[in-house]
Chains A and B, each alone.
Chain A
Amino acid sequence: KNQVEQSPQSLIILEGKNCTLQCNYTVSPFSNLRWYKQDTGRGPVSLTIMTFSENTKSNGRYTATLDADTKQSSLHITASQLSDSASYICVVSDRGSTLGRLYFGRGTQLTVWP
């Protein structure tokens, strides 16, 4: 069964600290993996998208890694800010285009305290 599991479900950290969010998937065949940030009351915003051949991609203080062999991805946030408080959603696609099926994780709720 194709699934995407994220951990932890929720996380609280202090401003300035680093954190790492995890995403494990069983989707096959794999096409790409995306990380989205969703602020409360807003739609998800894309952070990164990685294909099979990519194992690291950065977007400012956000760095995503992908291990296609173990079917694991992580999102590392460096020097966290209050504005990083949001839900982070991992999405895996099983085809090379939007014609493929998307599988969504339930998200990790990150709270950054001052």
Chain B
Amino acid sequence: DAGVIQSPRHEVTEMGQEVTLRCKPISGHDYLFWYRQTMMRGLELLIYFNNNVPIDDSGMPEDRFSAKMPNASFSTLKIQPSEPRDSAVYFCASSFRGSGGYTFGSGTRLTVV
């Protein structure tokens, strides 16, 4: 298995632009998580899905952030409009039946200038 695949690996965009981050979870995993990591705040859970349904989005910072999971093999995290304070590394992770063993992707480093 190729693991959790995220794209792009790096994204540089101007303030105000729309940014879309993509994630392909491990086949067969029924939970998908989006995390954000910064030096100041460490890792933060943004939202997670179970069987493609959003379960807890309490970590989403504001309405500019949205996430979708149209099918079991694909999820997106969208920021519109982007702001410099959104600059961070965004990780996607997946797991099977909440077994506790998450598999993280390699992350997308987002820079908003």
Q: Contact residues of A with B, CB < 8 Å?
A: 32, 34, 41-46, 49, 89, 91, 93, 97-99, 102, 104-107
Cβ-defined contact, A104 with B42, below 8 A: yes
How many chain B residues touch the partner (CB < 8 A)?
23
12 A–B pairs (Cβ distance < 8 Å), ordered by A? A43-B93, A43-B104, A44-B43, A44-B104, A45-B104, A46-B102, A89-B42, A89-B43, A97-B97, A104-B42, A106-B42, A107-B42
Given contacts A43-B4, A43-B107, A99-B55, contact A104 B101 (CB under 8 A): no
Q: Which residues of A contact B31 (CB under 8 A)?
A: 98
What residues of chain B lie closer than 8 Å to A46, measured between beta carbons? 101-103
Q: Determine whether the beta carbon of B44 is less than 8 Å from that of A49.
A: no
Give CA–CA (A99, B31) in the complex, Å: 10
In residues 45-81 of chain B, which contact A (Cβ within 8 Å)? 45, 48, 50, 55
Interface of B is mostly: strand
Residues of A within 8 A of B101 (CB): 46, 49
Contact residues in A for B105 (Cβ distance below 8 Å): 43
Shortest Cβ gap from B52 to chain A (Å): 15
Q: Which residues of A contact B50 (CB under 8 A)?
A: 98
Chain B contacts to A: CB under 8 angstroms:
4, 31, 33, 42-45, 48, 50, 55, 91, 93, 95, 97-98, 100-107
For B100, give the chain A residue with the smallest CB separation.
A49
Taking CB as reference atom, which chain B residue is nearest A102? B45
Q: Which residues of B contact A43 (CB under 8 A)?
A: 4, 91, 93, 104-107
**Residues of chain A contacted by B104 (CB below 8 angstroms):** 43-45
Contact between chains at B45 and A34 (CB < 8 Å):
no
CA distance A89 to B91 in the complex (A): 15
In angstroms, Cα B44 to Cα A57, docked, is 26
Tell me which residues across on chain B come within 8 A of A99, comparing CB atoms.
55, 98
Instruction: Determine if A104 and B107 form an interchain contact, defined as CB atoms under 8 angstroms apart.
Output: no
